[in-house]
Amino acid sequence: MRIAIISDTHFHKNPDKIQSYIEKYFKDVDMIIHAGDYTNPKTVDILKSYKQFIGVWGNVDKDSTKEMLRETEILKINGYKIGIFHGHGKNKTTIERAYDKFKNEKVDIIVFGHSHSPTILTKGKVLMLNPGSLCYKRTERWHSFIIIELEKDGIKAYLKLF
């Protein structure tokens, strides 16, 4: 299964812009995972209409978005258990908060966002994936997302910077 991982889109006034990203980068994926901070609930509706979609809410999402999504999700795909959490909170680093959120769940992969800093690393035998931001890079040089391919015999993870 080929999955696009995005986060921190922050489409305040123009949520329809997500359509151009889907058409340009995600035509050949089976699913889109969004790790929160949509800013506009219409972004969630658009993502749901294009591809198989799962997402969580982030710290800047309003109640209307929070009513559509959970704070965390756990799913199983091709034998891999995946935890999804935005990464917000107090104390610790974003990576530590995301890791701790699933410490009792025995996940293989954790998808998180919040920092806008793209990351692919392992921590405590868990693959940690932060796609950065598709369109709001903050202090990063590039916009970014991750594509993962989950197969029974292994995982491929690609970071796209643009």
pLDDT digits (tens, 9 = 90+) for 78-126: 999 999 999 999 999 999 999 999 999 999 999 999 999 999 999 999 9
Q: What is the pTM of this model?
A: 0.96
In order of start, what are the domains of the chain with their CATH numbers? 2-161 (3.60.21.10)
For the beta sheet containing 119-123, the strands, ordered from the edge strand earlier in sequence to the opposite edge, are 72-77, 80-85, 109-111, 126-130, 119-123
Q: Quote the pLDDT of residue 13.
A: 84
pLDDT (mean) for 17-29: 94
Q: Considering the chain, what is the average pLDDT of its residues?
A: 96
* E strand spans, the chain: 2-6, 31-34, 52-55, 72-77, 80-85, 109-111, 119-123, 126-130, 144-151, 154-161
Q: Are 11 and 133 in contact (CB under 8 A)?
A: no
Q: What percent of the chain has pLDDT over 70?
A: 100
Residue 60 above 90 pLDDT?
yes
Q: Quote the pLDDT of residue 51.
A: 77
pLDDT (mean) for 15-32: 94
